[in-house]
Structure 1
Amino acid sequence: MQALLHTIATMELPTDAQRLFHGRGGLHPGCEQWALDLYPPVWVLTSFAPVDAASLDTIGTALAARWAQLVPKQPLNWVFQCRAEGHAETRLMAGAVPEPHVVSEDGTQYKVHVLRGQNHGLFLDMAEGRRWVRAHVAAHPKTYAFKVLNLFAYTCAFSVVALQAGAKQVVNVDMGQGALAIGQQNHRLNGFNTGASFLAHDIFKTWGKITRGGPYDLIVLDPPSYQKGSFVATKDYARLVRRLPELLAPGGHALVCLNAPELDTTFLQTHMQEQAPELTLVQRLPNPPAFADVAPERALKVLVYRAPELATL
């Protein structure tokens, strides 16, 4: 636990939502169970193993001491979440959580919910993916009607940054009506009342509607690695990526993502080579430095692919 306590004792106060300690990356032996995130003004401590009360007291004391140094006149707000098998719980340990709870990243606002469920409304490890989308869309002329397809959209963070960067239309598709409802709120938080559509459908049963809305200049694929009844990467990724060539505009790009420690980059590349051989691998995006991993192939994988341009005579 010492590496976590050292991080707390020396950390500065970020203004954006981000991870401060990533024990799961294996770079801090003995701290593999711990993660510490800040969703201002709330700290979220996560453990992937059972925790005794004394350990929580030690960490809480360290947080309180550092918080008193950083912002002496503000109360400490922190939440503990345990994700150990058979010991799942979420607890408010001190202070309060604002409602609504809105955080920022690179000037964009997102609604989060740190006391409800394991996913908080914004995946912090995908920050570089959102930055790439922003830069990629912004690089196109504003007169160009840039169209984005956001599959497994969750709370639509990619959609918001694409519109901010100048996209003219984004189609968000996700089975979760609740997540899409938060996505609509995220759009309104950032001043967008038009430009995005929200389809609460099973992607594999909606290809006709999705295809009719294309072709798309950018497609984001960010599915869960395993979600029973919805998507299982080992079974479903191939039938997902085989649709890319017919959905992409000439020269269009696909952001192909997977967060499954047991599946490496070769898994994605093999599926792309077999199912969409005409698409070319451009790069693998880096993960945020806070998510550094001793075994990069276990970490989040985000690959950029490009469709061929139209052939010229």
Structure 2
Amino acid sequence: MQALLDAIARLEPAAEARRVFHGRGGLHPGCEQWALDAFPPVWVLTSFQPVNEATLAVLHTALTERWTQVAPGEPLNWVFQCRHDSQTETRLMAGAVPEPHVVSERGARFLVHVLKGQNHGLFLDMAEGRQWVREHADKQKVLNLFAYTCAFSVVALQGGAKQVVNVDMSGGAIAIGQQNHPLNGLAGGASFLAHDIFKTWGKITRGGPYGLVIVDPPSFQKGSFVATKDYQRLMRRLPDLLLPGGRVLLCLNAPELDTAFLRQQMQEAAPELVFEQRLPNPEAFADASPERALKVLVYRAPALAPRVP
């Protein structure tokens, strides 16, 4: 646990949501169970193994001592979450969590909920993917599949997208996404569809074709999406959804499946789409085994052949 304690000893007040300590990346032996995130003004410490009260007391003391040094007079707000064997326990350890709780990232603002559920409303490891979308969405019609709370939609519109169609089977997540848009001064340009894409593609296909399609599914969610079974079914749809020259942002966060899995699936399902690059993950998510980390790939549809006079 020493590497985590060392990270806490270097802690500084955070202006934006970000990861502070990434034990899961395997670069800190003995700390693989730990992650520490800033969701200002709250710190969220996550363990992927059970933790006893004595350990939590040591961590609380470390956080309190550091916070007294760097933010004298400011309350320490921190939450502990344990995720183990599909069980989630979340506890407010000190201070309070604002309601609503709004965090920022590179000029965008998002609602988060750190006291309920395993997912807090914003996936911090996708920061570079969001930045790529912001830089490539100008004048594009965008399809955002598995939209969750629609963070990609917000940054696409900030980047000049003409329109974004957000699709997710969770009505609750879509409702938060709808709130994220006015939170960023975005009054129009986005539509929201609470829908299971595998039941029917009609509405999605009729809304196309699209200049950019974002695919960010859960790696394994029973009744929703299982990557080994469903990703190729989805990939087969991509050529018909894309404009000539359109791009796909293809995401997968499954440690057991590597980049080669995605590329092979795409080669079999839609060989006409051309692989361009794998986006880097944020430096804070550095991993001893990059293929176990988040994978974000960019593909492009072929351009129209020039007319022959």
Return the offset for 1:246. 0.5
Pairing partner for 1:167 from 156, 161, 167:
161
- Superposition pairs for residues 39-118 of structure 1, below 5 Å? 39-85=39-85, 88-118=88-118
- Does the residue aligned with 2:117 lie in a helix, a strand or coil? coil
Distance change in 2, residues 1:7/1:170 (3 Å): same
Return the offset for 1:87. 5.2
1:204-257 per-residue CA deviation (whole Å, 9 max, x = no partner) reads: 123111011000000000000011101000100000011110100011000000
1:111-138 per-residue CA deviation (whole Å, 9 max, x = no partner) reads: 0000010000000000000000011124
1:22-57 per-residue CA deviation (whole Å, 9 max, x = no partner) reads: 101000000000000010000000000000111111
Q: Distance in 1 between matches of 2:133 and 2:87?
A: 37
1:87-122 per-residue CA deviation (whole Å, 9 max, x = no partner) reads: 531000000000000000001000000001000000
**Number of positions where the alignment pairs a residue of Structure 1 with one of Structure 2:** 307
The list of structure 1 runs, each at least 4 consecutive aligned residues, that deviate by more than 3 angstroms after superposition, is none
- Does the residue aligned with 1:88 lie in a helix, a strand or coil? strand
Contact 2:88 2:118 in 1 (8 A): no
Pairing partner for 1:152 from 146, 152, 156:
146
1:228 aligns with 2:222: yes
- Does the residue aligned with 2:198 lie in a helix, a strand or coil? helix
Gap runs ≥5 in structure 2 = none
Q: Which residue identity lines up with residue 161 of structure 1 in the other structure?
A: V
Q: Distance in 1 between matches of 2:87 and 2:63?
A: 23
- Does the residue aligned with 1:203 lie in a helix, a strand or coil? coil
Q: Which residue identity lines up with residue 132 of structure 2 in the other structure?
A: W
Return the offset for 1:12. 2.3
**Which residue in 1 is equivalent to 2:245?**
251
Q: Distance in 1 between matches of 2:61 and 2:87?
A: 23
1:132 aligns with 2:132: yes
1:55-84 per-residue CA deviation (whole Å, 9 max, x = no partner) reads: 111111111111111111110000000001
Pairing partner for 1:182 from 168, 176, 181:
176
Q: Distance in 2 between matches of 1:88 and 1:205?
A: 30
Q: Distance in 1 between matches of 2:141 and 2:255?
A: 31
| Percent identity over paired residues | 75
1:266-297 per-residue CA deviation (whole Å, 9 max, x = no partner) reads: 11000111111111111000000111110000
- Does the residue aligned with 1:122 lie in a helix, a strand or coil? coil
Q: Distance in 2 between matches of 1:218 and 1:150?
A: 8
Q: Distance in 2 between matches of 1:24 and 1:122?
A: 18
Q: Which residue identity lines up with residue 108 of structure 2 in the other structure?
A: T
Q: Distance in 2 between matches of 1:157 and 1:111?
A: 10
Contact 1:174 1:199 in 2 (8 A): yes
Return the offset for 1:86. 6.6
**Which residue in 1 is equivalent to 2:119?**
119
Q: Distance in 1 between matches of 2:288 and 2:40?
A: 28
- Does the residue aligned with 2:59 lie in a helix, a strand or coil? helix
**Superposition TM-score, scaled by structure 2 size:** 0.98
**Which residue in 2 is equivalent to 1:141?**
none
**Which residue in 1 is equivalent to 2:262?**
268
**Which residue in 1 is equivalent to 2:290?**
296
Q: Distance in 2 between matches of 1:183 and 1:70?
A: 34
- Does the residue aligned with 1:155 lie in a helix, a strand or coil? coil
Q: Which residue identity lines up with residue 118 of structure 1 in the other structure?
A: Q
**Which residue in 1 is equivalent to 2:303?**
309
1:208 aligns with 2:202: yes
Contact 2:24 2:34 in 1 (8 A): yes
Q: Provide the aligned C-alpha RMSD in A.
A: 0.9
Q: Distance in 1 between matches of 2:8 and 2:34?
A: 12
Q: Which residue identity lines up with residue 92 of structure 1 in the other structure?
A: L
1:238 aligns with 2:232: yes
**Which residue in 2 is equivalent to 1:280?**
274
Contact 1:50 1:87 in 2 (8 A): no
Return the offset for 1:14. 2.2
